[in-house]
Chains A and B, each alone.
Chain A
């Protein structure tokens, strides 16, 4: 009897790296995980040691394979998905990073992005992105400006740039490549031609010699030392879109992790948002055309729960937020807008900072826990409203995934504030699943996207349970709280925490 084959995916995330092995039906067979350090050299700065991450990742496949009780030869394909925008620079000769990686949350490029304001129209039009500290381009520019001699070496092609996908592909296959979804987050790629753009490079001040070759999201890039074909790379949110099988225009997913990200498939044409959403590449399978997506990025959702745990000590694990929130029936009039590093979609206001509004002597920690969960729901509502306005379609159900979907109260609150049913798919780990799907398609493990659709099943559903009057009153209060966050940081202190 032939031994069964599986597909594995490496999910290189912000706080940990994982390898998950899936079977043909998309079920999880085994999981291996290793955390890496978060390096905070100064307020607002967040770094990773790329070497440490590679050392963690290199052992994961073997660990997941043996955990499943199988052998390397039974892995038909390996996919990669990664934290996006995080910027690694390394020496072509030695293969070693020249400095710590700058993580997507890092806000050190605040002044730099403001100085690029004259090019704002160009970036929006050609790269599909607003000027923000979030993306890779400003991070590369900052490093080239700050580290002596680096720009000259980058111009000679001795120092290479890559996002985490590139860094892992370089180490796994020896090639300097990136996938089109990750490239679409640099502010350096023309979203229409899917190539590096000379004008964008000139505006950002980044030499083309240091950039990786842009490849489709799914094709066989090479093989691991153990002989497993490495066959996909997608940014984490695009991978989740693919894992949720959002293959048709209008199909939308929302992933709840440290931050939250709604992506809507918009088909083969990039749609430029008028309501604060990003235009991004969703995926490109082999030589097929690229599929685009509109993206609503929310910076702080799950990380607000961690803040409640780590900075206030009100709970001892993230899951306990639900227990604490259930000690009360409502928010007690309190609203929490977690604009810790400004507000992302749909506001894009770097001058905003967090507020807790509506405090009275009545409010207790249970109400605060409710407000924390509701903050995720209302931020989602704002992005859904923007998406409905941009697409001209009304969202009819929300397909939610990610770690926070284990929180039943959050899922119910989402249904209540969105006034549509919220559905959790059978595999909450859609990020890794999406990378596995893309890799399995590239190697023929799955014949076509229809066979992937057949794997999608509803695991749970929450239906709206509050009245329209309550919903409108609460939304009004939320908006008042948001208004109070704006304009907190003044220009001359913009770089301060």
Chain B
């Protein structure tokens, strides 16, 4: 291990002290407990307050843990919670588009299908919740890659599922730029011959993309003359916006 940074260690010690009891602590108390000069502490506390990890009580001038820090560990949106909050809008999307609706999240480099609504034609279909889709060859995956906060590219080589699969990392990067720019992704027979998919991002209250929703169907229906029918794109984007609004409440 290399050398450590002293001020980060001191910040951690302050946070531990503030977390150790229900009491708010003043600079003098912190200084005494940590054996540090008040001036040093002021600088660290000011920084911690600015990033929201510590709050100062305006009446007493004492310090306590900040709301941002408290939310750090619990801000992750449970996938079952996401399904629960999305279910009405995924149903409505399948109902209006007459195609199957899907919701996915990123999981260890793949798209995990967390919700699936059958195409409403009462044909034989099997529930695909819990299965995985490749990120680079699915519309859901492209949306999730385009908004992945870690920005990790899928591991090369990119597998070709059909002739149309994007296997060149540069071509994929260009496509992801386009997804970010226009707010939705398409996949034209890139995973399965004859199937087309459209997807759009679902954002949480902080504006972070927590999932993608989309539809998948036969190319003859979604893109009969080679071009996607924009009507389907607007159904998908409406559903994504409705869920985003629901998550903001």
Q: Tell me whether A318 and B118 are in contact (CB under 8 A).
A: no
What is the chain A residue whose CB lies nearest that of B89? Answer: A28
Nearest CB in chain B: distance from A462 CB, A: 7
Q: Known: A322-B80, A323-B78, A460-B127. Contact between A27 and B118, CB under 8 A? A: no
Which residues of chain A come closer than 8 Å to B85, judged between CB atoms?
319
Whether A28 contacts B88 in the complex (CB less than 8 A), given A319-B81, A406-B80, comes out as yes
Top 8 closest pairs, chain A to chain B, by CB: A457-B120, A27-B95, A319-B81, A319-B80, A406-B84, A319-B84, A322-B80, A27-B92
Query: Across the interface, do A459 and B91 meet the contact criterion of CB distance under 8 Å?
Result: yes
Query: How many Å from the CB of B247 to the closest CB on chain A?
Result: 12
How distant is A323 from chain B, measured CB to nearest CB, in Å?
A: 5
The reply to whether A426 and B95 contact each other, CB–CB distance below 8 Å, is yes
Chain A residues with CB under 8 Å of chain B are: 25-29, 31, 316-323, 403, 405-408, 426-429, 457-462
| CB contact under 8 A between A429 and B84, given known A25-B95, A316-B74, A458-B118 | no
**The one of A26, A31, A320, A426 that contacts B81, using a Cβ cutoff of 8 Å:** A320
Please tell me the size bucket of the interface on B. Answer: 20 to 34
From A29, which residue of chain B is reached at the shortest CB distance?
B92
Indicate if B27 sits at the interface (CB-CB under 8 A).
no
B81: chain A residues within 8 A (beta carbon): 317, 319-320
The residues of B that contact A27 with a CB separation of less than 8 Å are 91-92, 95-96
CB distance from B85 to the nearest CB of A (A): 8
* A319 contact from B74, B83, B96, Cβ within 8 A: B83
Chain A contacts of B118 at CB under 8 A?
457-461
Who on chain B is nearest to A325 by CB? B80
Q: How far is the CA of A405 from the CA of B118 in the complex (A)?
A: 15
Residues on A with C-beta less than 8 A from B92 are 27-29
Q: Determine the distance from Cα of A405 to Cα of B125 in the docked complex, in whole angstroms.
A: 18
Q: Is B25 an interface residue (CB 8 A)?
A: no
Apart from A320-B80, A323-B78, A408-B129, 8 more pairs, CB < 8 Å: A28-B91, A316-B74, A319-B78, A319-B83, A406-B83, A426-B120, A427-B95, A458-B118
CB distance from B98 to the nearest CB of A (A): 9
Contact B95 A428 (CB under 8 A): no
By the criterion CB–CB under 8 Å, are A457 and B122 in contact?
yes
Residues of A contacting B84 with CB < 8 Å? 317-319, 403, 406-407
How far apart are the CA atoms of A316 and B116 in the complex, in Å? 24
Q: Is B79 an interface residue (CB 8 A)?
A: yes
For the complex, give the distance between the alpha carbons of A323 and B78 in Å. Answer: 8
In the docked arrangement, what's the CA distance between A462 and B129, Å?
Answer: 11
Across-interface contacts of B127 in A (CB, < 8 A): 408, 460-462
Q: Judging by beta carbons under 8 Å apart, are B91 and A320 in contact?
A: no
A405 to B122, CA, bound (A): 19
Q: Is the CB of B94 within 8 A of A459?
A: yes
Q: Hey, which chain B residues are within 8 Å of A457, CB to CB?
A: 95, 118, 120-122
- 11 cross-chain CB contacts under 8 A: A27-B96, A31-B88, A319-B80, A323-B78, A407-B84, A408-B80, A408-B130, A426-B91, A426-B120, A428-B91, A457-B120
CB distance from A415 to the nearest CB of B (A): 11
- Chain A residues lying within 8 Å of B145, measured Cβ to Cβ, are none
B233 at the interface (CB under 8 A from A): no
Instruction: Enumerate chain A residues within 8 angstroms of B126, measured Cβ to Cβ.
Output: 461
Contact residues in A for B213 (Cβ distance below 8 Å): none
Separation of A318 and B85 alpha carbons in the complex (Å): 11
